[in-house]
Amino acid sequence: MKTRQRTSWACTLAVLFLLTACVTTPPSPRRNGEVNCPQEPKATLVCSSYHAAATNMFAALARGDMATAMYYLSALTGASVTQQQAIINGLTHFFDEGNQIAGQCGDVARGGFQVLHRLGEFMGSRPYFLKIISTEKRLILGFELRTGVAKQLADNGVHIAVKFEGRVFDAYTGPGGMDEAEYLRRIHTYTGQEIASKEYASFPSLFRELE
């Protein structure tokens, strides 16, 4: 009986040790599609996978919830608080709505690319420039914001954005970016969705053609 009790206590202690180790494990980058999360600040937060954590981080950025964005950023990257703040500040600055001026997309994309490249170094991913062109003679490109307001993207039929982890980022999406399919659906010309797009590892030309 005593031997059986000792065995039971040993098993209990082993389980408690493993549970404690799981709770205190620091956040880490991508690992087999899962993410080790820090202690959750809110009971409603869910961080069960790498994809979910990335999606939740960008969603928090889109609604301006910086504390939650940094929580998920920590879970994804293991970056220090200073590094997290630099990434968040960079995204907020380069994709601010104040840059929603036709003709400025190149400068915005270059700055955003640098920030997302820094983020990608932690996440094991990389950004790309996304070049979008009008394939018709009337060259003006417009974009429908989430609010329903239409803005002019370009008057020369060329727009440059940044693509990262399946999302597109520019001044019109805000720092949280937008799902690529949704982003492309929101671009319009005078006669419909006559556009083409292509990814580039380095900054593309501003000519109305896909090299």
CB atoms within 10 A of CB 101: 11
pLDDT confidence of residue 202: 97
Read out DSSP for 96-125? -GGG--TT-HHHHHHHHHHHHHHHHHHHT-
112 has pLDDT over 80: yes
User: In this structure, what are the phi and psi dihedrals at residue 70, rounded to the nearest 5 degrees?
Assistant: -70, -30
41 has pLDDT over 80: no
Q: What is the mean pLDDT of residues 129-156?
A: 89
* Cβ 144 vs Cβ 188: under 8 Å: yes
Each domain of the chain, given as residue ranges in start order, spans 41-208
| Residues above pLDDT 70, as percent of the chain | 76
pLDDT confidence of residue 97: 86
Is the CA virtual torsion 40, 46, 47, 53 positive or negative? negative
Q: Which DSSP category does 206 fall into?
A: S
Q: How far apart are CA 211 and CA 207, in angstroms?
A: 9
What average pLDDT is seen over the chain? Answer: 79
Q: What is the mean pLDDT of residues 43-71?
A: 78
Burial of 78 per CB tally in 10 Å (0-12, 13-18, 19+): middle
Q: How far apart are CA 185 and CA 23, in angstroms?
A: 42
- Measure the N-to-C terminal CA separation of the chain; round to a whole number of Å: 79
204 has pLDDT over 90: yes
